[in-house]
Amino acid sequence: MRQTCVIRGGTLAAVLLALGVAATAPPAAAQSLTDRFKSLFGGGSDDKGQQDLPASGGPPADPTEGLTCPQVNIRAGASTYAVAAPGKQAVGNDVRFQASITKTARECNLNGAEIVAKIGIQGRIVAGPAGAPATVDIPMRIAVVQGGIGEKVIATKAYRTTVQMSGDGSVPFTIVAEDMVYPVPPPGANADNYVFYIGFDPQALTPERAAKKRK
C-alpha cells in the first residue's frame, strides 16, 4: 500500500538587499501549476507559518514504518537571484531584477523501494533600477542530500519557469517539482539526516541557451 506524508513549511521572508524594496505586494496570482501548488500549500499565498498537514486519506505516516519526508532547506548563498544589465554587476542601479524564495512545501509518497517527492517553491520577482525585461526565466535546482560527516547527494534536478513581468514590477512565481525520485534509505541509514536542498541555479539556463546558439 502506498503511504503519503504531506508537510507544509514557510521560509524566511524574501531578502531584497540590492533593491531595498519592502515585500508588501498583493497575494500571489494564479499560474499554470496553481492547483497542484495549492494542494501542497493549502491556504493563502501569504501564509508563512509552519504546519504539519495530515496525510491523504489518513493520519501522518510513521517514519519508523519506512516513510520520512525530509525538511526543505535553502542552500546557503542561493536564496536570491539577481540579474544585471549586460556587462554589469548585479548591484545597485545596474540590477534589472531580483528573485527571492518566500515559501516551500513538500509531499512524499512511498512507492515500493522508492520515494517520490513533490516539492513546491513559491517566490517573488521585483524589477530593479535598470528595468526588468518583459519575461524572466527563473532557474532552480533541487537536491536530495544525505547529511552528516561529508554530505552525499542522492538525487538532483534542475527546473525552470518563465514569468511575465507586470507593470508594477513585482510578480510571484511558482515551481512545482513532481518527479524527484530517490531510493528509500538503506537499513542502518538515518532517514532524519536526509534533506531537500533548493536554491537558484543560473547554470540551469545554460544548456537551453547553448542549444539555441547551435540552431
Q: Is 90 exceeded by the pLDDT of residue 148?
A: no
Q: Cell triple for residue 154?
A: 542522492
In this structure, how many other beta carbons lie within 10 angstroms of the beta carbon of residue 109? 20
Backbone angle region of 168, left / alpha / beta, with phi > 0 → left and psi within -120 to 50 → alpha: alpha
- Residue 40, classed as helix, strand or coil, is helix
Q: What percentage of the chain reaches a pLDDT higher than 70? A: 65
Q: Is 60 exceeded by the pLDDT of residue 137?
A: yes
The residues, ordered by sequence, that sit 6+ positions from 61 with a Cβ below 8 Å of its Cβ are 3, 4, 5, 55, 67, 110
Q: Is 80 exceeded by the pLDDT of residue 144?
A: yes
Residue 33 or residue 131, greater confidence: 131
Beta pairing partners, 138: 161
What is the pLDDT at residue 149? 81
Radius of gyration of the chain from Cα atoms? 18
What is the pLDDT at residue 38? 61
Rounded Cα gap, residues 138 and 10, in angstroms: 20
> What are the distances in angstroms from CA 122 to CA 88, 153, 172, 204?
28, 23, 7, 18
Q: What is the pTM of this model?
A: 0.70
What is the pLDDT at residue 187? 81
H or E element at residue 122: strand 114-127
Average pLDDT, the chain: 75
8 Å CB contact between 116 and 180: yes
Per-residue pLDDT tens digits for 15-55: 333 333 333 333 333 344 456 556 665 544 433 433 333 33
Q: What is the longest distance spanned by two Cα atoms in the chain? A: 56
E strand spans, 85-134:
95-111, 114-127
What is the pLDDT at residue 77? 92
> What are the distances in angstroms from CA 147 to CA 110, 136, 143, 153, 199?
21, 33, 12, 9, 17
- Residue 141, classed as helix, strand or coil, is strand
